Structure 1
Amino acid sequence: MDYYGFWQMLLEEMKAASKSAPRHIVTFNDPRMYAGALSQWKSLKSKKPGLRQVQVSTLIRAFFVPAAGAERLMDRYADSLSIEEDHRIKVHSPLADKSGSALMPWGIRAIRAPQAWSRSTGVHVKIGVIDTGVDFRHPDLRHSLASGVNLLNRGMMPLDDNGHGTHIAGTLAAAGGARNMMGVAPRALLYPVKAFDHNGSAYVSDIVLGIDWCVQNKIDIINMSFGMRNRSKALHDVVIKAYRAGIAIIASAGNDGKRGGDYPARYPETIAVGALDRRQRVAAFSNRGPYIDVYGPGEGIPSCWLREGYKEMSGTSMATSHVTGAAALLLALRPGLSPRELKLLLRRTASPVRLRKGQRRASLGGGAADALRLLRVGIRARRGNGSAASAAGSGAGGSGGSSSGAKAAAAAKA
């Protein structure tokens, strides 16, 4: 392959493209050809400043370019490359926006996290929070935060300019500041990965780079409270890489109130989360379906906010942070647990959700997250030297007990 010619063609297309031209993800099929292209890019970018706009993911052998002549590239290098548009992806925007008090949030109590704290508070578990950043000055978060990374500006801290990421961080690991706000896993360590801008918007490439960073930094769990309707090969590839590296990805299903849901929650390697209301029913706004692994509290959730404040929000984003926190409590006790085992334990230890009129339990997927039951079964599996999967099957038998569904079965084969 003519690597110089490849980069010269790409540079010409980038210069000719309009500002509104779509970004692209260019993935090499052959690792050796990717290595050659990467080496040439490193040597050229000091001489050709336009190439400095290109970003790299070694995990999936991809280059992310602000604009690319996909047709010309595919015509010349069709056997060597795959090219997809770098789609926009959004945080799952909350549906409520009220000032919140800092009392013990009802969702923390609903999943029985306080009863679990005598056994685990999530100590030493590293959670990657791919989101809008976090308020590092918040009194309830300052002891729970690592430095993380800002993918939008590598020279800056991952500071939150939206609020969504700070709210997620509070539910995950707030540690009882002056106003007594508590998260599910108050001694877990959060690594903010700022991939979303002030509008709560990112590109798929930003998410790929975020997951890539988490893998390189040996994060234990990744919280992904966002989604899109498009299916992305690059995003799925990097999710698979994280899964095989032993990192659990917990993702929100979306707020369209429909059967089905968004990616990445629909990928079999993730743990898909829907939202419950205060009555333990699937929230009206929550997506649902057999692919949902577990539901978490998602209606009227108070948590931390910008400028050291508090806010009440609703959404599958909020539900996801409850489930990620519960997973962190278990991983503190069982650090070797695989993503597959964690998924099965979450499903099998979930409690049945309350049904609305006309609903069938099988159509909803998993049940309601229960942190205390999750720890009891997880600890029993360790003491008995059995697999987590078999222990989960003999557990209290939540609503996911009879069948793990097609999504869980596919993940088991991944």
Structure 2
Amino acid sequence: MTLKPSTFVEWLHVSMTGAQRAERKHIIHFSDRHHYEACIRQWNEMRQSLAGRNKIQPLKIINAISCSLSNTDKLSSIPFIKSIESDTKMRVHAVRAANGAQPSDGSIRSGAANIPWGIKRIHAPQAWNKSKGERIRIGVIDTGADYTHPDLRHCLSYGVNLLNRLLMPNDDNGHGTHIAGTIAASSRQHGITGVAPRAMIHPVKAFDHQGSAYVSDIISGIDWCVQNEMQIINMSFGMRTYSKALETAIRNAYHAGVIVVASSGNEGKQATIDYPARLRQVIAVGATTKRGRIAPFSNVSKSIDIYAPGEKIYSTWLRGKYNELSGTSMATSHVTGVVALILSRKAGLSPLHVKSIIKKNAKILPKPGVSIKEVHALRAVGGVAKTASTGR
């Protein structure tokens, strides 16, 4: 059966009519770029004449669209529709520290010590004479970032607000600002210093003020990062269910040479981790404590590539303040910073090669029956010179 794009758009409009605005979103995959682009063009031509306010979200990186559907019966029978899946939600991976620390009044707790314990533990300061993350572009898909924070002003570059593209990707939650601080904060006086203080962060606001986002928004964020030539994508979030659409987007980013770092989850589960960290194209990160043990909240699995400090991590917060959070999110930002140090030392390394450098140069933590590798910034940066680049 041959179906014209105009007929598809009419069917799509009918299938969207009556759908609950936010609860019944789906991702529609096209079989190829040709049919995807033809239908997008047709939708743009016809949408003015279609009744109602139905909207679609193009997901070019995977030849798909996201929209609210009341039913999928008619669309699933179309020859050039590869698949239709639910557009599910996921959340950021952070929990308040056990002591319930609230945002401080804006000054660091100890005036002399402006390097948080996690950054010290992974030996980042000792690597700074070789690399500080210069010229490295990092897409942080999260809740946005506080552009006014004194410790982040130097490192925050242009980004995108996927929830409202007319607005700046300003943080209304705090999580994204906290992540940005651990990666690249820099302060000459009373603030904190991150792992890669000269890297550039490009905030990609995909999560709302509650720390929730749809898979389609994550895919749009990945697409933006690839199109804007980010070298690293930080993903401090996850979900338990598998999404073919998300895997396809991450695989495409991987083949474009982008290193994706993702958190494993905070359920304290054994032998399982969340998506997207479970995907093989990702550097999966678990969390450790100040005592060098696996954090009790961290998921544990052979699928985890590397561990990093994630307990009671002190970092930047909204309105120029600081806060202490725990989670595999915080561990992930440490690893992203180390990747920036590596790439600044030697640009063009493939994602597989970067993962190998981090794992081979890790610190082995004592745990009976399990090999736990904690990221070691100094060794990783030193390890770059010992290996030949595989390129992209």
The TM-score bracket by the shorter chain reads: over 0.9
Q: Given the superposition, is the C-alpha separation of residues 300 and 375 from structure 1 closer, same or farther in structure 2, using an over 3 Å criterion?
A: same
Q: Which residue of 2 aligns with 1:246?
A: 257
Which structure has more helix as a fraction of its residues? 1
Relative to structure 1, the CA distance from residue 58 to residue 49 in structure 2 (aligned partners, 3 Å threshold; closer, same or farther) is farther
Given candidates 308, 314, 320, the residue that maps to 2:320 is 308
State, as a whole percentage, how many aligned pairs show the same letter. 47
Q: Displacement of 1:67 after TM fit? A: 2.6
How far does the alpha carbon of each residue in 1:307-334 deviate from its partner, in whole angstroms, 9 at most, with x for none? 1100011100000000000010010011
CA contact (8 A) 1:173 1:190 kept: yes
Conservation of the 8 A alpha-carbon contact between 1:139 and 1:178 = no
- The answer on whether the counterparts of 2:15 and 2:72 sit within 8 Å (CA) in structure 1 is no
The alpha carbon displacement at 1:268 in A equals 0.3
> Within 5 Å, which residues of 2 pair with 1:173-188?
173-188=184-199
Deviations 1:100-133 (A, max 9, x none): 5353200000000000000110011000000000
Match of 1:26 among 5, 14, 28: 28
- Aligned partner of 1:157: which letter? M
Q: Distance in 2 between matches of 1:51 and 1:9?
A: 15
Distance 1:225 1:283 in 2: 16
> Counterpart of 2:142?
131
For residue 268 of structure 1, give the secondary structure of its aligned residue in structure 2.
Answer: coil
Aligned mates of 1:153, 1:287 — CA distance in 2 = 33
Say which is worse superposed, 85-94 or 46-55, in terms of deviation.
46-55
Describe the superposition over 1:181-201 as per-residue Cα deviations: whole angstroms up to 9, x where unpaired. 000000000000000000000
Q: Which residue, 10, 13, 16 being the options, matches 2:12?
A: 10
Partner of 1:328: 340
How far apart are 1:51 and its partner, in Å? 6.5
Q: 1:379 aligns with which of 359, 368, 385?
A: 385
Q: CA offsets, 1:167-192, max 9 Å, x none?
A: 00000000115413000000000000
Whether 1:218 and 2:221 are equivalent positions in the alignment is no
Question: How many positions carry a matched residue from both structures?
Answer: 379
Please report how far the alpha carbon of residue 46 of structure 1 lies from its aligned counterpart in structure 2 after TM superposition: 3.5
Could you tell me which residue of structure 2 aligns to residue 84 of structure 1?
85
Matched letter for residue 112 of structure 1: H
5 Å-filtered alignment, 1:133-152, equals: 133-152=144-163
Do 1:215 and 1:247's aligned partners in 2 also have CA atoms closer than 8 Å? yes
Give unpaired runs (5+ residues) of structure 1. Answer: 390-411
Matched residue type, 2:24: P
TM-score by length of 1: 0.88
Gaps of 5+ in 2: none
- The question of 1:169 aligning with 2:172 is answered no
1:299 lines up with 2:311 in the alignment: yes
Shift of 1:68: 4.8
Cα deviation for residue 45 of structure 1 reads 2.5
- The match for 1:258 among 239, 257, 269 is 269
Aligned to 1:395: none
Q: Alignment RMSD, CA only?
A: 1.8
Q: Deviations over 1:9-66 (max 9, x none)?
A: 2212222223464100001013222222122112123333756621101111001102
Per-residue CA distance 1:342-376 (angstroms, 9 max, x = gap): 01111111111132xxx4224xxx50000000011
In 1, the alpha carbon distance for the partners of 2:121 and 2:297 equals 19
| Equivalent residues of 1:94, 1:317 under 8 A apart | no
**Distance apart, 1:95 and its partner CA:** 3.6
1:346-365 to structure 2, matched below 5 A, reads 346-355=358-367, 359-362=368-371
CA distance in 1, matches of 2:70, 2:133: 44
Cα distance change of structure 1 residues 81 and 49 upon mapping to structure 2, 3 Å threshold: farther
**Distance in structure 2 (CA, Å) of the matches to 1:19 and 1:148:** 27
Secondary structure of 2:75 counterpart: helix
Match of 1:160 in 2: 171
- Aligned residue number for residue 93 of structure 1: 94
CA contact (8 A) 1:163 1:306 kept: yes
Separation (CA, whole Å) in 1 of partners of 2:150 and 2:19: 46
Which of the numbers 40, 43, 47 marks the counterpart of 1:41?
43
Aligned-partner residue type, residue 126 of structure 2 = Q
Aligned letter for 1:28? F
Amino acid at match of 1:193: V
Match of 1:229 in 2: 240
Q: 1:154 to 1:375 in 2, by over 3 A?
A: same
User: Which is worse superposed, 52-61 or 109-118?
Assistant: 52-61
Contact 1:378 1:388 (C-alpha < 8 Å) held by counterparts: no
Secondary structure class of the residue paired with 1:222: strand
What is the rounded CA distance, in whole Å, between the counterparts of 1:353 and 1:38 in structure 2? 52
Q: Amino acid of the residue matched to residue 365 of structure 2?
A: V
What residue in structure 1 maps to residue 129 of structure 2? Answer: 118
